[in-house]
């Protein structure tokens, strides 16, 4: 519950004007739909979408939000999102990226469906030192069954190379929060060139 509270706190801090005015929000791998449920009840002028591939999660999420006119939960694949370009103002990907089989393609799809200047809140466990890596790879991985746990640097590189401006990064309860915005097309080209030169 404290994680949900923190997620909503950040979303509201950076997007309150958009939420009040009416915007489009996507929760990728939405799980039980808790974040959508809380936001949809509070910001009825905005539209909230959630996708997941787990039948169990979809059932739980749908049961939570089916009485809201401004929320929609559907089965979806992150590698090929069924939304048009520049559709969403806000996108959330929380505690799911380490399960994705095609990470770069998944990030490109997220980037594709966000509007220029749109807000991406990217949350995933990531290690910064040997102890964190050891705990994730030997303890947490037993029940979490990830495709891969990333370092913070690896996640920053991936987010920046696909065209995100990482505005802030912080750790909360062993989980990393990346606050990002989608760059304009010219800015994307410049960022990629700078990244390549830097490497």
Between CA 106 and CA 186, with CA 19 as vertex, the angle to 5 degrees is: 50
Contact 149, 176 (CB under 8 A): no
DSSP 99: G
Note the pLDDT of residue 141: 57
User: Rounded distance, CA 61 to CA 45, Å?
Assistant: 20
* Sign, CA torsion 81/175/59/23: negative
Picking from 28-32, 74-78, 139-143, which range would have the lowest pLDDT averaged per residue?
A: 139-143
Give pTM, 2 decimals: 0.86
In 38-174, which ranges are E strands?
47-52, 71-75, 88-94, 114-124, 126-127, 150-151, 164-172
DSSP string, 141-199: HHHH--S-PEEHHHHHHHHHHTTEEEEEEEEETTEEEEEEEEPPHHHHHHHHHHHHHH-
What token pair was written down for 54? 């787990």
Q: Give yes or no for residue 56 having a pLDDT over 60.
A: yes
Which SS3 state, helix, strand or coil, does residue 125 take? coil
Q: Give yes or no for residue 95 having a pLDDT over 80.
A: yes
Query: What does residue 80 show for φ and ψ, rounded to 5 degrees?
Result: -155, 80
Contact 68, 41 (CB under 8 A): yes
Q: 145-163, pLDDT tens digit by residue?
A: 657 888 889 999 888 887 8
Between CA 119 and CA 176, with CA 36 as vertex, the angle to 5 degrees is: 50
Tell me what the mean pLDDT of segment 54-67 comes to: 94
Q: Give yes or no for residue 197 having a pLDDT over 90.
A: no
* 14, burial (CB in 10 Å: exposed 0-12, middle 13-18, buried 19+): middle
User: Rounded distance, CA 110 to CA 171, Å?
Assistant: 22
């Amino acid at each position: 519950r404290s994680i949900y509270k923190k997620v909503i706190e950040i979303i509201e801090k950076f997007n309150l004007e958009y939420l009040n005015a009416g915007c489009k929000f996507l929760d990728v791998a939405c799980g039980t739909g808790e974040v959508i449920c809380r936001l949809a009840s509070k910001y009825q002028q905005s539209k909230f979408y959630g996708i997941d591939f787990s039948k169990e999660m979809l059932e739980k999420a749908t049961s939570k939000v089916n009485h809201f006119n401004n929320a929609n939960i559907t089965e979806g694949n992150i590698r090929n999102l069924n939304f048009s370009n520049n559709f969403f103002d806000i996108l959330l990907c929380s505690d799911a990226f380490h399960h994705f089989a095609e990470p770069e393609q998944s990030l490109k799809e997220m980037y594709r469906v966000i509007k220029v200047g749109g807000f991406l809140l990217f949350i995933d466990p990531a290690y910064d030192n040997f102890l964190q890596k050891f705990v994730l790879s030997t303890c947490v991985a037993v029940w979490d069954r990830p495709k891969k746990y990333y370092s913070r640097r690896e996640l920053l590189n991936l987010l920046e190379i696909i065209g995100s401006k990482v505005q802030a990064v912080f750790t909360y309860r062993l989980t990393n929060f990346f606050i990002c915005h989608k760059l304009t097309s010219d800015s994307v080209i410049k960022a990629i060139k700078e990244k390549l030169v830097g490497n």
